[in-house]
Amino acid sequence: MKRLLFTPLLVALSIYSVWAQSTLDVRTQWEKGYGASLLGEVALGWPVSKATPNGNILFSFPYRLCASKCSTTIVYRSIVRDSLYKTDGSYVPSQGGTLAFVKGYSTKLSGGWDEATNKFYTTSTYYSPNFDEIGKVTQSQPAYISSVNPLSNGALIMSTTATMGDYSDSLVRYDAQGKRVWAVATANYNRTQNETTWRASATVTPMYHGEEAAFISSKSVRDINNFNTIISQQTDLKVLTGNGTEKWSAIVESPLTYTKVVGTDTQGQWYVLTQRDSLGRVLTFSGEGVKVNEVVISIPNLNNNMGVEIQKTADDGFVLYCRNVLNTFFAKYSKTGAREWSYQMPTYVDQLKITSTGNIIAYTQYLNPYNLTILSPTGAEKNKLSLFHLMEGSNGWLYGTTLDKLYAINPLGEIAWTINRASARAVASEDVDGGILLTETFSTKNPTASPYLGTWNLDVVNTFTLSKYSKEGKLLWKTPINKTVTEPDYQVRFMAGAYPSKETKGAYLLTSQVITMSKNASIGNQSNVNYSTSVIKITRPCYTQLTATLATASPSLCGGQTVKLEANPDSLGFLTYQWQRDGQAIITNRQSTFETTTEGVYRVMVSDSVCGTSALSSTIEIKSTPNASATLVTNPPVYAPNKAKLQANEGAGLTYQWLKNGQEIVGAMASSYETAESGAFSVKVSRDGCSRTSPPLTVEVMLPLGVEGTTEAELHISPNPNVGQFELKLPTGWERAQIKLHDVLGRDIPVNQSNGRVTVQAVAGMYWLKALFEGRELTQKVVIHP
């Protein structure tokens, strides 16, 4: 029988935020068999897949089991694959649906005849949510998992049952290495009134708090003529420690009723429901076994309390509902037991969350179609969806698909956003960055398909796309993931989910199945049908050709100030950026923008590691910025009419512009500048278009007192000019004044004064004579000739 492997990928993509001169493609790295073929025939239904917590993939598909002839019952074969392909595929329960998985834990059954004992035995192998083997037991009866209590140290306590459902034959503890530590029987006991030997039967499923487990055990005496009639009954609530020993036992007063532990709370209290006809009682027991509360409630017939559980609400009331069973009962009660409202849930609800706002989210996690219901705290139906697929993200959000929409539900029970899509069956999965991957199957009728395919509504041609959405619902990219099957008369392909590879960044694993049959295949003839399941590893879309660009929006390209460089933007997050200065790599973040204050020649290498492509941009030079300083050459103080001289730093190629009080001085463009005015002076030094301004330098040019006004008439110097000797006459009252002489630079010149005659040893020039007396000052100009 011909088997069709994965065909080459199309190269056409729809990509958002892609720049010109860059080409995107998807590449196939390998295709490997997912699991061996099975003895069966095609069945109506669609394959589903889920990612385990550690990245393994569960792939389930419908079929009809065939031995000598094919069964009429549709079952699911579920295969688990290590995503690194280091181990073979592991087959888990062939029966699909919610009862095959309890908190993600599952049971695989295998059997055989023991010649030594002449008996048939069943081996039950237990698997964690990662499908690691956690334990195995061989006995005459199968042992399914009915409840699981994972512990923080890797150990777990679980209950097992010979019949799938809400029953328990025993509690078993396994350590973190899968070693069986202890097992305790959990049983109810029955006998007729004339019998002395008790018959054991399974109890209902235990509940857990920490390492403790609580369950109901009863002893019933029944009528000899009608075993369904109970004559007397004792019912006990038993609590076991994590060591498997009984912590305490309390009698539950529930004559001739069905009784079950239905919940616990953070304080370690246990809630027990007893029911007879339409009357129920919710009993509360403390962690020490004392009954602390009892409320009476009205309740319909719940099939012996199958799957009934309780969750507390913020108003100290509770909701009562059925998990993992056909019963759709759901009701909200007050803390006194009054029923406030009720609702008919979908069947097989296995997850219930009461949000911080009081909204109630109920959904099925293992059954296709998936059902999701959101209720308000008052029981009003906010949303009710029948979904093709439902996935819970690591952020606590739920993502579901109908044939034409993608829904995102936040942890508060609100639909955050929806995406309208072309009509197709879509499987949602989570990428490593929290984005949403969507694998879509588009089917069109094939009028030339075989009649056998038409019998199961499989007379179609399927095409597929893989899309990536952000956590906010933005479509990032979309690509075809295979070509049409080449022989539609005899083959049908199914594609399930896509999952990020654990070993290769930017790669995905796709689960695929091809059903091949002869043209004359018929129902019940499994030899005409062949299943081929495989995993295809593809890259994410990557750039097969790149053109790197480099630009800047900064007003200047000068060192010493922040310059922002910009390379090709990449909203998809595919590219990496290696910045270089003067040909050397810069150790920095690998973003598309880079800021620097350092001079040099810059460029950027843009790369896509998935395609192995890269491109080097052109260069941008950031020029050096010269230093700028101004110093006062003239020694202070400076007196008018003298000038203060300022000098800038000098160097090759420098130009200057002097400023006073921040304003340019017209024509002041030399390396030095003289001023007869006070002010804050700075200099802007430039070279090659880059400039720097020096810090302001305060200059004070003082005007001497007495140069103008009446003081000249009060100091009499004769002769003036002179040769260094002159008569000085002081005003009346200034006889004891101190006499000083300064040159134009403000330096003191020694003088001799005696009886009004002053002698000066000084070179020719202009001087200032001062008379200082009692805080007052008189000034007169003196000119000395050679």
In angstroms, the CA 281 to CA 299 distance is 9
Residue with token string 């004359």: 520
Contacts of 16 (CB under 8 A, 6+ apart): 474, 475, 476, 477, 571, 572
Q: Are 295 and 309 in contact (CB under 8 A)?
A: no
Structure tokens at 627: 């230093």
Fold identical between 630-702 and 716-784?
A: yes
The candidate with the shortest Cα–Cα distance to 514, out of 29, 16, 22, 42, is 42
3-state secondary structure of 708: coil
- pLDDT grade, residue 475 (50/70/90)? very high
Helices and strands: H and E segment counts in the chain: 2, 73
DSSP string, 344-394: EPPTT--EEEE-TTS-EEEE-SSSSSEEEEEE-TT--EEEEEEESEEEE-T
Structure tokens at 159: 């209950």
Q: Where are the domains of the chain?
A: 188-410, 437-539, 563-613, 630-702, 716-784
**H-helix or E-strand containing 454?**
helix 451-455
Note the pLDDT tens digit of each residue in 53-82.
Answer: 888 888 888 877 777 777 777 777 778 877
Q: Are 599 and 534 in contact (CB under 8 A)?
A: no
- pLDDT grade, residue 10 (50/70/90)? very low
Note the pLDDT tens digit of each residue in 384-441.
Answer: 999 999 999 999 999 999 999 999 999 999 999 999 999 999 999 999 999 999 999 9
Residue 304 CA, distance from chain mean position:
43
Residue with token string 């890269």: 614
Lowest mean pLDDT segment, chosen from 44-53, 564-573, 702-711, 716-725 = 702-711
pLDDT tops 70 at residue 486: no
Question: 433 burial class (0-12, 13-18, 19+ CB within 10 angstroms)?
Answer: exposed
Question: 118 burial class (0-12, 13-18, 19+ CB within 10 angstroms)?
Answer: exposed
In angstroms, the CA 743 to CA 749 distance is 7
Q: Which residues of 13-22 are buried (b: 16+ CB within 10 A; e: fewer)?
A: bebeebeeeb
The candidate with the shortest Cα–Cα distance to 433, out of 569, 535, 572, is 572
Note the pLDDT tens digit of each residue in 193-249.
Answer: 888 899 999 999 999 999 999 999 999 998 888 888 888 889 999 999 999 999 999
Ranges of beta strands (E only) in 307-350 are: 308-312, 318-322, 329-333, 339-344
Cβ contacts of 105-109, under 8 Å, gap ≥ 24 = 105/129, 105/134, 105/145, 105/148, 105/158, 106/78, 106/131, 106/145, 107/142, 107/143, 107/144, 107/145, 109/142
pLDDT tops 50 at residue 88: yes
CATH class given for the domain over 188-410: mainly beta
Average pLDDT of the segment spanning 340-368: 91
In angstroms, the CA 572 to CA 585 distance is 24
Q: Which architecture does CATH list for 630-702?
A: Sandwich (2.60)
Note the pLDDT tens digit of each residue in 675-687.
Answer: 988 889 999 999 9
Structure tokens at 51: 């990612």
Lowest mean pLDDT segment, chosen from 84-93, 261-270, 413-422, 553-562 = 84-93
In angstroms, the CA 222 to CA 61 distance is 46
Q: Is the peptide bond before 346 cis (omega within 30 degrees of 0)?
A: no
DSSP state of 451: H
The candidate with the shortest Cα–Cα distance to 765, out of 724, 733, 737, is 724
Fold of 716-784: Immunoglobulin-like (2.60.40)
Sign of CA dihedral 263, 349, 97, 482: negative
Give the pLDDT of residue 99: 65
In angstroms, the CA 166 to CA 532 distance is 36
